[in-house]
Structure 1
C-alpha cells in the first residue's frame, strides 16, 4: 500500500521525473567535459612533442659525407633512460632507421604517415602511445641532400592519468551538485505544493464538520478551483437543507387541511364538498412540496448557469401573470452573466424576489446585475439588485419576514415562506441578502451578493 501511495503522490512523481532529467543532464555534461578535457590534454601533449621534435632537429647535423649525427646531449634526459616513456626516432624516407634514442632500446619505430616535406602529423599508436612526426629535406654545405622523418613518441599513461583524475573529480562534484539540487528542488516542490496541501486539509476539515467552506487565501491559480468547490459544497448543503425544510413545510402545510378533515369527519353528512376541497388542496400541497424536494436531487455536479437568461425568463412569466397591472420591468444587465450555481437555486432566489416585487409594486420593477463586485473587502461573482415602487416594508419588519410563515401583509396571498427560502439558500451558498428602502423608486430594494 505504501508503494502505491507513493506512486500516486504528485510530489514523488515530480521529484522522480526531475531526478531522472538531472541525471541524464549531468551524464551528458560529464561525457562532454571528459571528452573536451581529453582533447585538451592531447593537444597539450601534441605541443610538447612538437617542441621535442624541434629540440631533436637542433641536435642533429648532416655531415659532409652525407651521414646524420645526433648529439648525445639532448635537452630532455628521458631520451637517455631506457623505458622512460619518451622515445626519439630518425628515419630516412626509404624507412631505414638512421637513429633512435637510448630510451627506445628494443622498440620499433612507428609507421610513416603520408605527409609532405615540411608538414607534421600527430597520431595515436599501439599500446596507447602518441607520436609526433615531422618530415624534412636536409641539404649540407657540400650539396648532399637527404630526406628524413623525425618522430618523437611518448606513452599515453600521463594523459590517461590526467583524464582519470579529472573524471573522478568531475563525477564526484556532479554527484554532490546533483544531490544538492535535488534537495533544493524537493524544498521548492514542498513550498510550491503547499497551497494544494492546504486545500486538502481544508476539505478534510469540511468533511469532518470542522469548517463550512474553503475560506483561506489560496494561490491565484487555485482560486477558481476553490470557488467552484465552494459552489459545489454550498449547493449540496443547500439541497440537503432544502429537503429538510421542504419536509417541515409539508408537514406544516398539511396541518390545517387535516384539522378541517378531522372536524368534517365528526359530522360527515353534508360536508362532502368541504372534504373533497381540502383533499384536493392537500394533494396540490404535497405535489408542490415534493417537486421542490426532488428538484435537482439527482444532480451531483454544479454547472454554469446564466443569471441574465434566468431573469429574462422569469420576467416574461411574471409579465403574463400580472398582465392586468401593466408592470414595467426596467432591466439593466449584461448580455450574459455565467456563474457556477445550480439553475434551480437561482430560479428559487430570483423567482421569489421578482414575484414579491411584482406583487407589491405599483407600476415599475427595476433589475440591475453587476459582475465581480467587491463589498466589505470580499470579492463576489455577481450582485443582483431588485427594486420596486410599492409601499415598501417597515424597517422593523425586515428581519421578521425572513422567518418562515411570516408575511408583510396578511391580506396578500402567499404562504410566507418565499423570503425565508431565499434567505436560507443564500446562507447555505455563502451569499448575502440585504433589504433596504429604495431611494430611486421609493419602494423596497433587495440586494443579493453571490460568491
Structure 2
C-alpha cells in the first residue's frame, strides 16, 4: 500500500485514533480499578478495626486491655502484612499487634472521635485510622486511635494483573477493529475502484463513456467526466472535419495555380485572386478548428476582465477613430466557459462594432437573464452607432465568407465563427437594431 494511497491515509488515521483511544481507555480503566481495589481494602480494614474494638476492654483503672488470642490470626503472625496499633489521644503508642513487632505508625495530626482516615502511610502500607472515645462502667473516659495497616503490595499486585490482562484484551480488540476498518475501507472505496477501471476501459477503447451503477456521491463526477469526454470527442471531430474541409477546399485553387504555372505573367491577377481565396479558407478553417466548444467543466472565468482586455486592445487598433467604450459590466461577472471561447466570441463582436461604429461602442453584461421560457446565466450585449445591418441580411452575414460591405476589410469569417461557437456552447445569438445608438446590436445568451 503506497504512502500517497487514500486507503493508506485513512487506515493510518483510524489506527492513530484507535491507539489514542485505547491508551486513554487503559489509563482510565486502570485508575478506576485501582480506586475500586483501594475502596475494597478500606472496607476490609474497617472490619479489622471493628474486630479490634470488640476485643479491647477498658478496665476500671482506665487502662486498655487487649486479649492474647486476637480475633484475626494474622495480627498474631509476625510479617503477615496485617498490623494493628492503638494510640492514646496524645499519640502515644498503647498497644500493637504481635505481627507489628519493630514497626510503628504515626496517626494523623487531627482526627476527631467517630471519624476515620484512610491513607497510604510510610513504608508502602495502607492505613485506616479510627478515633473513639471509650467510657467504662465506672465512668472512666479515654480517647484512643485504632489503626490497622496492610502492605500495599496486595493492591499493587491486583492492579498489575489487571493492567496486563487489560493490555492483552485491548491489543486483541484493536487488531480486530483494524481488520474490520480495513474491510469497511475496501468496501467503501469499491465505487472509486470501479470508476477507475471504467476510465481505463475508456482509455483502451473498450468503452465509450461511464455507464456503471455508481454511488450517489460519484454520479455527479461521472456526469461531468462524460460531458468532458463527449466535449473532447466533439473537439477532435471538429479538428478532423476542419482538416478535411481545408484539404478539400484547397483542391480547386491549387488546380488553378497549377494551370497558371506555365503562363504566370499572363494570369498574374488570377493567381493573386486564388492565393487570396486560399488565405481566406485557411484562416476560417483554422479558426473553426481552434474553437474549443462546450467545456462547462472548466473553472469560473471573469467575463468583465476579458471585456476590459479586449476593449483596451481594440482602442489601440482603432486609435484613429478615437472610439468611446460605454461599459455596463458588473464586477466579478463569473461564467463557467472556456476562456478561449469567450475571447473568440466577445473579440469578434467587439471588433466588428469598432470596425462599423462612428465613435461609440456600448458593451453591457446582464447576469441571470431570461429569453422566452429559457433562463440563461449571462447576457452579453454589444452595440455600435454605425449604419447597422438591414434585417434581411442578418441571416446572410452569419454564413461563412459573407460580408455586410465588401468595401470594409475582412474575410467574412468572424460572425460565422461566433454563430457556430455560440451554438456549440448551447447559447443563443440575436442581432437587431440598437435603439440607444442607432447602429447594430448583438446579444449573446450564455446558458
TM-score by length of 2: 0.63
Q: Cα distance 1:179–1:427, how it changes in 2: closer, same or farther (>3 A)?
A: farther
Deviation at 1:434, TM superposition (A): 1.7
1:112 aligned to which of 105, 116, 121: 105
**Which residue does the alignment assign to 2:15?**
19
**Which residue does the alignment assign to 1:447?**
444
Q: 2:41 & 2:415 partners in 1: Cα distance?
A: 95
**Which residue does the alignment assign to 1:337?**
333
Q: Cα distance 1:372–1:52, how it changes in 2: closer, same or farther (>3 A)?
A: farther
Quick check: 112-121 or 34-43, which moved more?
112-121
1:100 aligned to which of 91, 97, 100: 97
Q: Say yes or no: does 1:392 pair with 2:387.
A: no
Structure 1, residues 388-439: CA drift from partner, whole Å, max 9, x if none?
85323589x58x946xx464869687655445533554566xx223234649
CA RMSD in angstroms comes to 6.1
Q: 1:347 & 1:118 partners in 2: Cα distance?
A: 93
Contact conserved, 2:422 with 2:429, CA < 8 A, in 1? no
Q: Say yes or no: does 1:41 pair with 2:37.
A: yes
1:200-349 residue pairs with structure 2 within 5 A?
207=203, 210-211=208-209, 240=236, 243-244=239-240, 247-248=243-244, 250-251=246-247, 254-272=250-268, 274-275=270-271, 278-279=274-275, 306-315=302-311, 331-339=327-335, 343-349=339-345
Q: 2:373 & 2:151 partners in 1: Cα distance?
A: 80
Contact conserved, 1:370 with 1:383, CA < 8 A, in 2? yes
Structure 1, residues 217-269: CA drift from partner, whole Å, max 9, x if none?
9869x98x998x89987997687566546544643554454244233224335
Q: Say yes or no: does 1:422 pair with 2:418.
A: yes
TM-score by length of 1: 0.63
Contact conserved, 1:46 with 1:122, CA < 8 A, in 2? no
Quick check: 258-267 or 9-18, which moved more?
258-267
**Which residue does the alignment assign to 1:299?**
none
Q: Where in structure 2 are there 5+ consecutive unaligned residues? A: 293-297
- SS of the aligned residue for 1:335 comes to coil
Q: Cα distance 1:393–1:325, how it changes in 2: closer, same or farther (>3 A)?
A: farther
Deviation at 1:70, TM superposition (A): 2.9
Q: 2:265 & 2:433 partners in 1: Cα distance?
A: 58
Q: Where in structure 1 are there 5+ consecutive unaligned residues? A: 297-301
Q: 2:393 & 2:428 partners in 1: Cα distance?
A: 14
Q: 2:350 & 2:194 partners in 1: Cα distance?
A: 40
Deviation at 1:141, TM superposition (A): 8.7
Q: 1:279 & 1:173 partners in 2: Cα distance?
A: 86
Q: 1:8 & 1:206 partners in 2: Cα distance?
A: 25
Deviation at 1:50, TM superposition (A): 3.6
Q: Say yes or no: does 1:122 pair with 2:126.
A: no
Q: Cα distance 1:330–1:148, how it changes in 2: closer, same or farther (>3 A)?
A: closer
**Which residue does the alignment assign to 1:89?**
84
Q: 1:259 & 1:294 partners in 2: Cα distance?
A: 27
Q: 1:363 & 1:305 partners in 2: Cα distance?
A: 29
Contact conserved, 1:110 with 1:125, CA < 8 A, in 2? no
- SS of the aligned residue for 2:343 comes to helix
